[in-house]
Each structure stands twice: as structure tokens, then as C-alpha cells.
Amino acid sequence: MDAKWLGALPIDGIREIQEVRGGDVNQTYRLKGDNKDYFLLVQAQRNEAFFASEIAGLHAFEASGIRAPKVIASGTIENDAYLVLEYLEEGQGSQKELGKLVARLHKQHSANGQFGFHLPHHGAAISFDNQWTSSWSELFVERRLDGLRDALVTKGRWTPKEVKQYEAVRHHILTKLAEHKCEASLLHGDLWSGNFMFLADASPALFDPSPFYGDREFDIGITTVFGGFNQEFYDAYQAAYPLESGWQERIKYYRLYLLMVHLDKFGTTYALSVERELADILADK
């Protein structure tokens, strides 16, 4: 990150830049200024549209009273997309409050009653269109899961054997989702433990969204894959916005989705986890 690049940012008074841990998708930095600090995300060799969905999600969170970093600026410098956010100071807090916050997020429903989002999701490895639909199964199974299946076959990570198993699971998921009536809730879209924090005042905050409107059990399923959410979180969520009967089975579909994303992105390290999730879903038949 050279001085010329930094000088092109629409922010004055930057004294120091410090590279920080911020996930595996973007280059991330803390910008130390005269009066305040900022969080900078950079996606090399992409235009500013790369961050459009995330920005829209952060604005939607803010409008819904969900604590998240405020958007300061975005654009493209020397063919690199950037996003500057409010820098949030980390503290410690209660997962009970986090559960309440996620429940409040999910109580926000799409104005048109449909599933999707007005912007596509751009990921490092795979993208999804998010076009509006009245069918949750269409958005989740036909566009997301099937898209991942095709990507895994194209990359040689699935053989006909895995595809056959997937097709059996797919049929099962479609059958079960046809019986499940859900509202189109505002979702974080990537709600793992690396995408929430507690602030200096102990309040919880969410960041790095991949937003769309969908079945709220999608977010809950994602929380169970890598840990970081304790029973206090789930109890508080259930008290604030109880899940429908059968949710314990259905969140497995969303666990499968996230594991397929990781198999597509990181390779065979996740092959066994995907295989186990497929088998677990079939065991529910």
C-alpha cells in the first residue's frame, strides 16, 4: 500500500496504516487518523461494485437499528476496489444480547414479501444473483445449492458418486421446504463467529454482511458450523423470536450450503465434512 494510493482516499489526516486480520477475502487495514480511526477493506483488481452488496447490507442494518460499522467512503483506486468503514473498538459482552440482536435483525422482512435482494452477492470464488422470487426453494436450492454443485463438478471436486448423493439430498430438501412456510427475513448471510463482535460498551455488533432476504433458519444454521455461539445465544434468540417446529432438521440444509461453499473455495480439506452433512440429511428421511 503506497503513499500515492493512500493519498487518493477521500479522507484527511491519516497518520498511520496498520495491516490487521480481517478474513480471507479482502486485504484489511486500520487507518489511524488525527481525530478518529477507520477500517479499510481493499479488493485488488476489482471495481467498486464488489462492495455494493455489503454496503447495502450495512445501510439496511443501520436503518433497522442493528449496530454495525457505518460506511464512510467507497470507490476504486488504481483498479482496486476499496471500502472505508467506521472503526469499532472491541470489548466484551453477553451472547444473550447478541441473540436478541440477531432476532431483531430477522424481524425485518422484505417490503415486497419476496426472497432475494436488489443486488447480487459477489464472493471471492462464486457469486449468486439474488433476483427476487416468491419461492424460497428456488432461491436457495435451484440457484445457490445447484450453483455450488455445478462449480464443484467443474473444478473436479465432485465425481458422479457425490452428485448422485447430492441429488437424493436435493429431493429431500425440496420436499421438506415445501412443507415449511417462512417469511423473507433480512439475513446477515454469513453469520459465523468472525462476523460479530462486542464493543467497548459491551453491546454486540454485526459486520461483513452478505445480505439477502430469506429463511431466518439460514443464519441460524450458519452459526452452528464453526462454533463461537453458546447456548445463551440460542436461548435468547428463541425467547425473542421462536423458531418453527422442525428447525433442528432444516438447519442442516444451511450447514451443507456453507460447507459446500468452503469446499468450492478451499478444496478437499472440506470434502469429508460435506460428505458427513449429506449423509446426516439423508438419515432424516
Which DSSP string corresponds to 202-229? S-EEE-S---EEE-THHHHHHHTTS---
CATH number, span 3-86 = 3.30.200.20
Classify the C-alpha dihedral 192-195-201-203 as positive or negative: negative
R_g of the chain, CA atoms, integer Å: 20
Q: Which three cell numbers stand for residue 227?
A: 462454533
Range name among 25-29, 58-62, 69-73, 137-141 with the lowest pLDDT average:
25-29
Catalytic residue among 24, 34, 129, 190: 190
- Domains of the chain, residue spans: 3-86, 95-282
β 71-77/37-43 pair status: unpaired
| CATH domain 95-282 topology | Aminoglycoside 3'-phosphotransferase; Chain: A, domain 2 (3.90.1200)
Whether the CB-CB separation of 206 and 186 falls below 8 Å is answered with no
pLDDT of amino acid 276? 97
pLDDT at 22 over 70: no
Range name among 3-12, 165-174, 188-197 with the lowest pLDDT average:
3-12
Max distance between CA atoms of the chain, in angstroms, equals 61
122 pLDDT tier (thresholds 50, 70, 90): confident
Q: Which three cell numbers stand for residue 35?
A: 481525530
What percent of the chain has pLDDT above 90? Answer: 88
Whether the CB-CB separation of 129 and 240 falls below 8 Å is answered with no
Distance CA 104, CA 116 (A): 19
User: Does residue 284 have an active-site annotation?
Assistant: no
Whether the CB-CB separation of 61 and 209 falls below 8 Å is answered with yes
Q: Which three cell numbers stand for residue 18?
A: 496498520
